[in-house]
Amino acid sequence: MTKVLSVVCARAGSKGLSNKCVAKINRKMVVEYAIEYSLSLGSNIETVVSTDIAEVIRYCKKENIDYIERDLKFCADESRIDDAIADAIEKKGQDCEYCSLVYGNIPTRYPNLFHDALNILRKRNNYDAVISMQNVEKFHPEWMFDYNENVLPLVTESHYRRQSLSQKMIHDGHTFLFKKDDFYSRYRGKLPYDKKKRYSIFGTKFKPLINDEVIVDIDTKKDLILAEALLSHR
């Protein structure tokens, strides 16, 4: 049976909504939804919570959930998520084949996306990772403006109609599944990678898992309101 290390990452610092991982939705912390999702994925999925948040650590102890008290050097604003993942692999995931990154600030979860991603990696070994993506619609880059609080800077418009826009995708934050050994070898400098390219430490061949689920990445109070509305009607 294929073994997967599922790393739920919950860091105290945030440039957006303060303490977003422990914000409450229906009397539960946001990160609880992410942890419960990870624990529901199957017996071959080993969940570990990587956190520096005291309230999350207390919750993990109470519920007997495996956790890592993240080193402060991996908790700064400039820290990279791959540092926390490598730390989790070293301490909890040496015998796993794949690793799954689960962001603790995303409470809206869909297990089918994870299982679809795992099936792709199992059947098509040429991929390094599977990443859930969504089509960019109303927030297409061709419709955006550079920030200026005084004067709206007009831009050259190549396409006014949405139907004429080129198709763009964005990572929705839900599913990020990758081969553990190759990632760890790049992290330790045993395999080369282009540090200037996004996600390159995870590989070079990524399969986009395109979906249209409503996935809420909590960064603002508006995100909390939307997530609460969605979760209240499940």
- CA distance linking residue 153 with residue 41, whole number of Å: 48
| CB distance 180 to 96 below 8 Å | yes
Q: Residue 26: is it exposed, middle or buried by C-beta count within 10 angstroms (0-12/13-18/19+)?
A: exposed
DSSP state of 87: H
Residue 37: phi and psi, rounded to 5, are: -60, -50
Report pLDDT digits (tens) over 9-28: 998 877 778 889 999 999 99
pLDDT of res. 117: 97
| CB distance 74 to 1 below 8 Å | no
pLDDT band with cut points at 50, 70 and 90 for residue 214:
very high
Residue 198: phi and psi, rounded to 5, are: -60, 135
Q: Hey, what are 188's tokens?
A: 């330790």
Decide which of 162 and 133 is more confident.
Answer: 133
Report pLDDT digits (tens) over 31-81: 999 999 999 999 999 999 999 999 999 999 999 999 999 887 766 666 788
Residue 158 pLDDT > 70? no
Provide the strand spans (E) within 53-194: 67-69, 98-103, 129-135, 169-179
Q: What is the pTM of this model?
A: 0.91
Share of the chain above pLDDT 90, in %: 71
Report pLDDT digits (tens) over 98-124: 999 999 999 999 999 999 999 999 997
Q: Hey, what are 88's tokens?
A: 């989790």
Decide which of 170 and 138 is more confident.
Answer: 170
- Domains of the chain by residue range: 4-132+171-232
pLDDT of res. 178: 97
CATH class of this structure's domain 4-132+171-232: alpha beta
- CA distance linking residue 48 with residue 121, whole number of Å: 21
